[in-house]
Structure 1
Amino acid sequence: MAGSRSVVMGRPREFDVDEALERAMQVFWERGYEGVSLTDLTRAMGITKPSLYAAFGDKKELFRKALARYTEGPADYGTRALEEPTARGVAEAILRGAVRTTTRPGGPAGCLGVQGALASSEAGQPAHDMLVEWRNASALRVEERFRRAVDEDDLPRDADPRRLARYVMTVAFGIAVQAASGLGRDELQDVAEMALECWPPTGVRRTRTGRPG
């Protein structure tokens, strides 16, 4: 891709930036932030450390770029799900998308957004914080979509969009954890189907005071 090559001192880099970032994303996805050294990254990306720093910044910035690529690529089902015409359709698209993405043949199992910073040492704190923000932002977008569903009478007036969003995202992230543990696509699809059978799940309505019941 012509737009993917950068220029240093008037000369093009000797590697494709998009391809290198794709490889970095795959490594982070498979091994997490702390499980990958700069040597691991440069070897997988086929570049030198000076080239990595020049093109992507430090390891933290590379992870940030890899997470953005993951969001716009393998995990774009989350964004597309919000365009479904019904709240149930949104939930179904998220859960089915989670199953597909976390069990891709030949790809890393699980979810980069869940597995990327499972360790919690000081070295992994930047990635941990980044992914907490990423997951919270995802849940907020789903909550806002469900709030719209209430306004459009697609969900009951007394439904609680926040609790519904938390329910859907907890199941989706749980699917990712189970996929990383070796559970197969068919089994995880059963989990998604069971969750959808409960739609909307009990306990998502508000009490007469307006507070979650």
Structure 2
Amino acid sequence: MGRKREFDVDQALEAALCVFWRKGYEGASYTDLTQAAGVERPALYSAFGNKEALFRQALARYYEHYLDYFPEALKQPTSREVVADILRASAELYTRYPDRKGCLGIHGALAGSDDAEPVRRALIDARAIGEASLCDRLERAKQEGDLPETANCADLAAFVMTVLHGMAVQARDGFSRETLEAVARQALSVWPSGRSTPSGASS
């Protein structure tokens, strides 16, 4: 029988996630990861595979445990409320932890060596999935009359994601939650309304 692992795999993955969130993929050294997880390198990679595999699992955990508000926001009754929920929750998450501000999905591999290209592509693909799900929700809003018939839902989804990405960068640079929420309100101030948008919709 194989020797039973002497560490909590879930806790080790969370520790690695926090390192990647703080330092990015290439900035996180093997020493950083093993020290944070509290295990030796062979044990860490026996459990998760190589560094890229570990990052991919950490990214999946990030989306499941930290960005769970995104799919929940899509359930809101109007497109404006959907976007308001996403922007507000993002402002909160990006500034929640003083030691790892911003977004792992944005900062994980903004730039890097050729060796990090698969990770960069994985992050691009993950963001594209979120943007596509938002676009689908906006298309439904358009069909329901919540958005004008002339609305370009792909452009609107790209606009929201661009605002989110900018907020993540500004949070990394020290912007407060209050400032990011002000940015969110400004973005919402130009949100289009359709014929059936409730007059009391959340702002």
TM-score by length of structure 1 reads: 0.87
Counterparts of 1:54 and 1:19, CA distance in 2: 15
The Cα shift of 1:107 comes to: 4.5
Q: Counterpart in 2 of 1:199?
A: 191
Equivalent of 1:131 in 107, 123, 126: 123
Equivalent of 2:26 in 23, 34, 40: 34
Equivalent of 2:148 in 114, 135, 156: 156
**Could you report, residue by residue, the CA deviation over 1:44-85 in whole angstroms, capped at 9, with x for unpaired residues?**
111111111211111111101100111011111111111111
RMSD: 1.4
SS of alignment partner, residue 90 of structure 1 = helix
Structure 2 residue runs of 5 or longer lacking an equivalent are 194-203
Give the counterpart letter for 1:63 in structure 2: F
Counterparts of 1:48 and 1:147, CA distance in 2: 49
Q: Percent identity?
A: 50
Give the counterpart letter for 1:91 in structure 2: V
The 8 Å contact of residues 34 and 119 in structure 1, kept in 2 or not, is answered as no
Counterparts of 2:111 and 2:140, CA distance in 1: 36
Structure 1 residues 140-151: aligned runs within 5 Å:
140-151=132-143
Q: Counterpart in 2 of 1:72?
A: 64
Equivalent of 1:88 in 52, 70, 80: 80
Q: Counterpart in 2 of 1:15?
A: 7
Give the counterpart letter for 1:161 in structure 2: C
Give the counterpart letter for 1:60 in structure 2: E
**Could you report, residue by residue, the CA deviation over 1:57-116 in whole angstroms, capped at 9, with x for unpaired residues?**
111111011001110111111111111111111110111111011000445100000000
Larger RCO, structure (CA 8 Å, separation 6 or more): 2
Structure 1 residues 173-192: aligned runs within 5 Å:
173-192=165-184
Count, aligned residues: 193
Q: Counterpart in 2 of 1:208?
A: none
Counterparts of 1:95 and 1:148, CA distance in 2: 20
SS of alignment partner, residue 56 of structure 2 = helix
Structure 1 residue runs of 5 or longer lacking an equivalent are 1-8, 202-213
1:25 correspondence with 2:17: yes
Q: Counterpart in 2 of 1:120?
A: 112
